[in-house]
Every structure is written in structure tokens, then in C-alpha cells.
Structure 1
């Protein structure tokens, strides 16, 4: 493994929006690149990396071990935010899945609308469905930005939800 962990432009933008010292929950973490990178660079005080499937969570575990942060990264096998309590995080990242799926995750965790959590959301498809859900449920998009990532134009927004869509 290389000595320097480099994020894709999309994940790099998300990382730049995480407040220093944040308590992070990365939902659908896959390889856990974002929480590992943030831990290596002192960007978070704690991090939970969750995934629905054991395969991606195993890859996350391997990466955390390879980069020396396994003892500080809390890995959880759960559906969306079902295994994460509102007091355990102040920043939630849900990136790389469809907008309808992200909306369903948020709907199942109504505490995400309490105004005390920053949501960094990056849908790969159906961003309009996610925007509609956010609007209908009292969330506010306060920041949004497009980023070119591997030939695809993605957007990321912050609300207390940040959303991103693929162009």
C-alpha cells in the first residue's frame, strides 16, 4: 500500500467540509477511505464507519489496520443509521448511493432533522428525489458544490444537509 492515502475529488470535497474535531458517522463506508483519511489528518475526534454488508466492512477493517487507525475506528454492521445513536455523532456522511436510498436512511433516523447534525450527502443518482425529501421534511440545503471526479460531474451540498448529484 502507498505511504500516502489520497482521496478522490468527490471524497476530498466531503472531507474539506467536515468540521475539525467532528464526531463522524460514515454510512455505507465501503473501504472507509474518508474516515481513515480524516483520522490520519486529525480532522475528527471520533469516527464510526458503518455498512450494510460484511464484505465492505471487512475492506474497511483492512484499510484501517493498514493505515494504523483500527484501534480508533468504530466499525458497525448495520442498515443505514440503525446502529448509530444521535449522541454518537455530530456529522453524518452518506455518499455514493442513490438519492431515494439516502432519503430512506434519513427517514428511518428522524433525529437527523433535529438541527444538531451536519449531513454531508452525495447521491449518485436521483438527486431530485433526495432534494424533494429534504424539502418536505424540514431540512435545509445551505451549501452545494459540483466537483469533477473521474470524468463525472458530481455535486455535494451541505444542510445541515449536503447533497451531491451526478451530472
Structure 2
């Protein structure tokens, strides 16, 4: 991977950054994404934010060698502390867990007032991001799920406004599986949720043979409702 050819996961993120945007890539690693966007999608201005010294130095080196220092500002800092209020209209955060991404957004909430679009790629727990969108008045407008090198990734895109819009009546189901992903189930989606279903079933069976405490009963109930939802979601596709 380099600044001309991104990994499939980062290419999916890049696709949703508006042409001519000013953007910040948080946890930018080697700044591959901002460099690619500056060269191919005409972003006006980009911040590559990185908290770890090694990747920060690597990002600085890459931006310099690409001759992009006038477009991309590499900044060292934690989360959104590298962004000034009103400086960017799009923020990307890729390659972290969903809970960590939401805590970054929470900790820098005051920086989001003038941001028009968030493009987030959680490695796990996309549900925590969908819940955060609902609670903070961001509307999910697009989702993708893809497999790369044996791992499955989701990309979630949101803009400010009507948070309930994509969910229709089955909100719990939409939060867990993704309202757009349920509608267009690809191979990666089926693979992920078939594996999850097996895993939940295995845990449920273990709990069945365990001592039945209040906690066990509650866990079983939770798993049962997830199993019913996953059955319904995967069944929908067959019908």
C-alpha cells in the first residue's frame, strides 16, 4: 500500500470524502489516506493527526516526499485536539474499535459543530458508532462492508440531521446489522453474521449447561434475541 494505491479498506473510506473538502484524518498512521485524497480527489486542505511518535514521523516524511506539505499539515496530538474549531468540514477515523472512535468524537464534540460529514471505519463494534450517531443527531447516510486479508471491515458515513431516518421500524436490528447493509447483503455481510450466529449459539449452549443464576438467564435472553434477529436478517435475503 502507498499513497497511489490504498488498501481496499482505506479506498472505501476515501470514496466518501467529498471532492474539494477540507478534512482531518485522525489516527492517520503514515498519512496514506490524506496523500491519496490530495493527489486524486482534490481535497483543499488536510490534517493528518497522529498521537504515536513513530507513525507521526513517518507521516511527516511521506507528506514531504510527495511534495504535499502545502496541502497536508501533519500534527501530533490525541484525537480531535489536532483540529481547530471550523477548520475542516469532513473527518475520517479508520482502523480503530468502534468504542474508541466514539470516545474520540465525544472528547472533541465542540469541534464537530461545523463538520458536515464523518467517515468512520471501525474494526469492531460498529453498533457503538450507530448508537452514537442516534444520540448526537448525526444521520447515517451510507454504509459498506468488505473483506480484506481475511478480516471484515465496515465503513459508516454520516451527516448532521434526522438521526432516525434510515432505521424505519426495526431500530434494534438496524443498529446491530446496519440498515443499509441489511438491504444489500453482500458476501462479507453474510460471512460475518453467519460466523457471529455460530458463536452466539455456542455461547448459548455453554450457558444452558451452566448453573442458572440471574446473570446467566439474562445473558441467555440477550443471546436469544440476537439469534432471532440474525435468523430474520439472513432469512430475509433468502426469501
Pair 1:94 & 2:97 matched? no
Q: What is residue 155 of structure 2 aligned with on the other side?
A: 156
> Whose RCO is larger (CA < 8 A, sep 6+)?
1
Structure 1 residue runs without a partner (length 5+)? none
Conservation of the 8 A alpha-carbon contact between 1:18 and 1:43: no
Tell me the residue number matched to 1:14: 13
CA deviation after TM superposition for structure 1 residue 134, in Å: 2.1
For the 8 Å contact 2:90–2:116, the answer to whether it is kept is yes
Q: Is the 8 A contact 2:126 2:154 kept in 1?
A: no
CA distance in 2, matches of 1:99, 1:87: 25
Q: Where do 5+ consecutive residues of structure 2 fail to align?
A: 161-177, 179-188, 193-239
Deviating 4+ runs (over 6 angstroms): none
Distance 2:122 2:26 in 1: 12
Structure with the greater alpha carbon radius of gyration: 2
- Which of the two has greater helix per residue? 2
| Cα separation, 2, equivalents of 1:58 and 1:98 | 23
Offset, 1:51 = 0.8
In the alignment, the residues of structure 1 paired with residue 39 and residue 7 of structure 2 have an alpha-carbon distance, to the nearest angstrom, of 16
CA shift at 1:125, angstroms?
1.5
Alignment CA distance shift 1:114-1:88 (3 Å): closer
Q: TM-score, normalised by structure 1?
A: 0.87
- TM-score after normalising by structure 2: 0.62
Pairing of 1:1-167 with structure 2 (within 5 A): 5-111=4-110, 114=113, 116-160=115-159, 167=192
SS at match of 1:19: coil
Taking only aligned residues, the RMSD between alpha carbons, in angstroms, comes to 2.4
Q: Deviation of residue 42 (structure 1)?
A: 4.1
CA distance in 2, matches of 1:55, 1:28: 12
Size of the alignment, in residue pairs? 164
Cα distance in 1, alignment partners of residues 35 and 142 from structure 2:
24
Q: Which moved more, 1:109-118 or 1:146-155?
A: 109-118
Residue 135 of structure 1, CA deviation: 1.8
C-alpha contact (below 8 Å) 2:144/2:154 kept by paired residues: yes
d(CA) in 2 for partners of 1:116 and 1:40? 22
Q: Which residue of 1 aligns with 2:213?
A: none
Aligned partners of 1:35, 1:84: CA distance in 2, in Å?
Answer: 15
| Deviation, structure 1 residue 151 | 2.4
